[in-house]
Amino acid sequence: MQFSYIQPTSIEEVFKLGSAAPLYAGGTDLIGLMKDDIIKTDKVINIKKLKGLDKIEDKGNKGIEIGPLVKIADLIENETIQEKCPLLVQTAKEIASPQLRNMGTVGGNICQRPRCWYYRGDFDCIRKGGDTCYAVGGENKYHCIIGGGPCFIVHPSDLAVALLALDAKIEITSENGQKTVPVNDFFILPEDDETKENILEPGEIVTKIILPEQAKGFKTTYIKFKERSSWDFAVVSVAAVLKTDGNMIKNGKLAFGGVAPHPWMEAEINQKLTGLNTDEASVDAFTSSLFHNAEPMEKNEYKVILARNLVKRIIDNLA
């Protein structure tokens, strides 16, 4: 594939170049998409040189602002993130390999495309504009158990799960200005648009990830089950933000990865956390109720059990 490689130095230049060309930051996902002929283009826009988008800024009681071009490795090493948001550090350490963390960016991680083997393979599936989700009657071991239809992908981002648990917001910029949306509203389900994973329209770019100031007294953790111990995408993952008082959880949040087409959080689950006693019987009853509305396919019902067990482990560890 032949294409022009353009290196603007300002976001205004990006907008002038047009909205159809893919943006290149770390390239750890884009290059694969191009090699697989999922993205066909005659122009790639390298945004690495855009000023101000590679910084982490502590805004005091207004929280922390993370530029989308911040590399995942730099997120791990940043003292502000280590001190004020250890959940994000722990999550980032679970992403891929050191080599990929040195290349991949925060913005690229949350905007990456699905890893479904039908989408990445030589199949004219729904997500590529076809009319069939081949996972329904095919190999669906790693596909979603909730929120699917007509496409049954899972979202591959680890950071997105942690950001959801942390009530983060995403700043989006276009020629028409800026808007800021909660991270939960940034991602969309296939029923809204089966060809997209988020609300970004052509000509829009993520320019900031905003973490609100974290309340005191909360314990956080991220647990990720993967098939390969070295590095892999999550089969199921859970990010937890819990406040405990003795043997009781006062309140908190659980966000899940690997179970749905976008990072998944249920208000009903988090409401049941409030006032939950951490004795074995109470925790067993709570975890047994999780994903009671799931609709697993032939080969992925195990994800329901796995998600429940990961939550039980988190409560045992934190409480």
CA atoms within 13 A on the CB side of 211: 25
Residues 279 and 247: beta-carbon distance below 8 Å: yes
Looking at residue 46, its pLDDT comes to 95
Strand pairing category for 236-245 and 23-24:
unpaired
CATH architecture of 1-51: 2-Layer Sandwich (3.30)
Residues 242 and 222: beta-carbon distance below 8 Å: no
The strand pairing partners of 132, in sequence order, are 125
User: In whole angstroms, what is the distance from residue 28 CA to residue 33 CA?
Assistant: 9
User: In whole angstroms, what is the distance from residue 146 CA to residue 125 CA?
Assistant: 19
Looking at residue 162, its pLDDT comes to 98
Looking at residue 13, its pLDDT comes to 93
Angle between helices 302-318 and 280-288 (to 10 degrees): 150
User: In whole angstroms, what is the distance from residue 301 CA to residue 284 CA?
Assistant: 19
Task: Give the residue from 137, 186, 178 showing the smallest Cα distance to 157.
Answer: 186
> Backbone dihedral region of 197: left (phi > 0), alpha (psi from -120 to 50 degrees) or beta?
alpha
User: In whole angstroms, what is the distance from residue 168 CA to residue 223 CA?
Assistant: 19
CA quadruple 66, 69, 72, 73: dihedral positive or negative?
negative
Q: In a 3-state reduction of DSSP, which class is residue 66? A: strand
Domain 219-318 fold = Enolase-like; domain 1 (3.30.390)
Looking at residue 228, its pLDDT comes to 84
Looking at residue 29, its pLDDT comes to 95
Class of domain 56-112+148-211: alpha beta
Looking at residue 20, its pLDDT comes to 79
Domain boundaries defined on the chain:
1-51, 56-112+148-211, 219-318
Residues 258 and 265: beta-carbon distance below 8 Å: no
pLDDT along the chain (319 residues), means of 10: 90 87 93 92 93 96 97 98 97 95 97 97 96 97 98 98 98 96 98 97 96 94 91 96 95 97 97 96 97 97 98 94
Backbone Cα Rg of the chain: 20
Looking at residue 250, its pLDDT comes to 96
